[in-house]
Amino acid sequence: MPLTLLANHGPGASGGGSATISGETLNPGHFEISLREDYSQFEHFTKAQAGERAIVGGDFDALSHGFITTADVAYGVVDDFQIGASVGYFIGRDFISAEKTGPDTFDLSTAQPSGLTDLAISAKYRFLSGQPGNVALVTGVVLPTGRSSVRLASAESLSPTDQPGTGRFGLPAGLGYSRFLTPHLTIDASALYTFRFEKDNFKVGDRFDTGIALAYRLTESIKTFPQYSVFLEVNDVNLARDRDHRSLDPNSGSNTLYATPGFRVRLNPTAALGIAPSFPIWEHLNGNQGRVDFKLAVTFSLSF
């Protein structure tokens, strides 16, 4: 589930991170619409290297790089309560799948996966505000509306984990927190757990996202535009192992800690543009997998 759907960019919409959920909610009758582009660069493998990995680990899949374009809309229903929806389009490049067929042999096929992602519906309720800060409960449902029928050149279907849409329902739930530390400095923190339902004897691993972000407004007055701010964010993404016919996939699941320095400019009271490169500073991969090298997110949002 895209965390940006619930972010709202921190206290007073003056700061906040890129993926950390804020404790803020939209005012009643107000909308926020955003368009976000995410780019991910993964460890590169040649076909020969992928085959070598398969011979060692039994099978091996890798994606060179991918793009997700996500459209989000959120609406303030009443005081302290908002709803939202998010959907994206995924474009993956140079997907390689290698499977061991003998002691020193393997089969290899490729794909260029693309298609709509699953639709995420969200709700956020702020139950605490004031001096201690803003704390909100976030929840929702992920609907299996995305494309889940991409096939390799060999006609074999990609795993649900590698499809643009998983083909399975998901239930996210968590908390977001925000407050001003000084008139210029804000803090946001969040935790979100997404439970994935099983289908056709396959369960995509659950996901647990945590994050904390410090943002500093460079522009002296909060009423001056354009308004510039910088932020530093740390996020942990924990992916549980997939389960196929009650057996855990040894080559799935990971835990990655990202550091994200970012820049945001509020062009006027309604429009903002942000850019946030993310660098993995620690990765634990189960079994035979490739690592994430680099990520970049660019977000344009309108509030009215």
- Give me the pLDDT at residue 131, please: 85
**Mean pLDDT, rounded, of the chain:** 94
Q: For 263-282, what is the mean pLDDT?
A: 97
Mean pLDDT of the 158-167 span: 96
- Give me the domain span that covers residue 37: 3-303
Is residue 68 a contact partner of residue 86, using CB atoms and an 8 Å limit?
Answer: no
Q: What is the C-alpha separation between 137 and 72, in angstroms, rounded?
A: 19
Of the two residues 120 and 15, the one the predictor is more confident about is 120
Reported as a single tens digit per residue, the pLDDT across 27-85 is 999 999 999 999 999 999 999 999 999 998 888 999 999 999 999 999 999 999 999 99
In this prediction, residue 2 has a pLDDT band, given cuts at 50, 70 and 90, of very low
What is the number of structural domains in the chain? 1
In percent, the amount of the chain with pLDDT more than 70 equals 95
Supply the pLDDT for residue 16: 78
**Cα 59 from Cα 11, distance rounded (Å):** 47
The pLDDT value recorded for residue 15 is: 58
Q: What is the pLDDT of residues 102-135, one digit of tens each?
A: 988 999 999 999 999 999 999 999 999 988 999 9
Residue 166 has pLDDT above 90, yes or no: yes
Domain of 239, CATH number, reads 2.40.128.130
pLDDT range class, residue 1, cuts 50, 70, 90: very low
pLDDT at residue 12 in the model: 47
Give the pLDDT confidence score for residue 5 in this predicted structure: 53
Output the pLDDT for position 8.
Answer: 54
Alpha-carbon 182 to chain mean position: 29
pLDDT of 14: 45
Looking at residue 9, its pLDDT comes to 52
